[in-house]
Amino acid sequence: MHNIIPANADCLIYNDYGDGDSRRFIKHILRDVYWELVKGENNINIGVSSANSVFMATELKEGYTSPSEWKQLEIEDVQSGQYFTIAKGDVLIFGTPNAPDEFTSTVEIDKYFGADYTHLIMSVEILVDPRNRKSHHIEVKGE
């Protein structure tokens, strides 16, 4: 398959897995993605707050599972690193810094990396090639 997206970065994705006391965010490295950070700010009564957003696109890669398949995996399979998903509520980090394999909350992730470097996925779109009707890449928007 030839690249339709110009890759310019690698990134980490922390996939949301489980719920309640067993909830975890599991790290996976995504290589050769397109990453675009849109810097912005909001003026609020007490000053200015960051309003950065990110657009990330990647071809479907080996190990990708749909969000519904991801929820059905056993924890051992999730922690093996063989599988990942891309879903609303997951967290993206630019680059591949040395970081823990798991966190228990988005608050922990923000504290570790800093809120300006963490991007909560807000929307995911899987685009289909109209010629062969196969999914070929994913576009993600996060804040």
> Where are the domains positioned within the chain?
9-142
Percentage above 90 pLDDT, the chain: 46
Candidate from 70-74, 111-115, 129-133 with smallest mean pLDDT:
129-133
Kindly report the pTM of this predicted structure.
Answer: 0.83
Mean local confidence (pLDDT), 37-66: 69
Mean local confidence (pLDDT), 42-70: 72
Mean pLDDT of the chain: 83
> Which sign, positive or negative, has the C-alpha torsion 106, 90, 120, 19?
negative
- Residue 127: how many CB atoms within 10 A of its CB? 14
